[in-house]
Amino acid sequence: MKNRKRNRLAGYDYSQDNLYFVTSCVQDMICSFGEVIDQKMLLNENGLIAQKQWYWLGEQYSYLKLHAFVVMPNHIHGIIEINRNHLSKQKIKSLSQLMGAYKTTTSKQIHLSDNLSFAWKRSFHDHIIRNEQSFENISNYIDNNPKKWNEDKFCEG
């Protein structure tokens, strides 16, 4: 594993208050969550689970605010905000721990629905959002993702 690429910014505390853009893909880029028809994402049962578990994450951790989010046929994009606000001693999970909770609970729910072959790709992509313009650009990208599916690098076809 020595040659494995580092996924996170070295020395950065991913549990600190900030906005994070995340992308997580299905193993082997299998279209497990539904399909795009007429530039709209139509979620199947697995896609509904992926969507439900995203919102569960926000309910589970009071210091999270969830912004733009989309489930695509073989991946998800979302913006997570960690904001301690007025919390004093609550332990804050890192972005990796939060994504681990999301992916684990989503996989478990999908497996319980008899899709035992479902798996996420290892790790996830993140981008630290550093200003309002970046936030707007990424939010627009997420919102418009289904409309641009045929141009998407994750599109299998």
By the 8 A CB rule, do 103 and 120 touch?
A: yes
Residue 12 lies in a domain: no
Q: Which pTM was predicted?
A: 0.89
The pair of structure tokens assigned to 8 is: 């996170």
Residue 135 lies in a domain: yes
Residue 156 lies in a domain: no
Residue 2 lies in a domain: no
Domain that holds residue 91: 18-148
Residue 136 lies in a domain: yes
Rounded CA gap, 106 and 78, in Å?
A: 15
Burial 5-44 (b: 16+ CB within 10 A, else e): eeeeeeeeebbeebbbbbbbbbeeeebbbbebeeeebebb
Residue 1 lies in a domain: no
35 φ, ψ (degrees, to nearest 5): -145, 160
Question: Which H or E run includes 23?
Answer: strand 18-25
Residue 93 lies in a domain: yes
Reported as a single tens digit per residue, the pLDDT across 60-112 is 998 999 999 999 999 999 999 999 876 666 789 999 999 999 999 999 999 99
CATH number of the domain within which 32 lies: 3.30.70.1290
Rounded CA gap, 54 and 81, in Å?
A: 13
Tell me how many domains the chain contains.
Answer: 1
Residue 155 lies in a domain: no
Reported as a single tens digit per residue, the pLDDT across 25-58 is 999 999 999 999 999 999 999 999 999 999 999 9
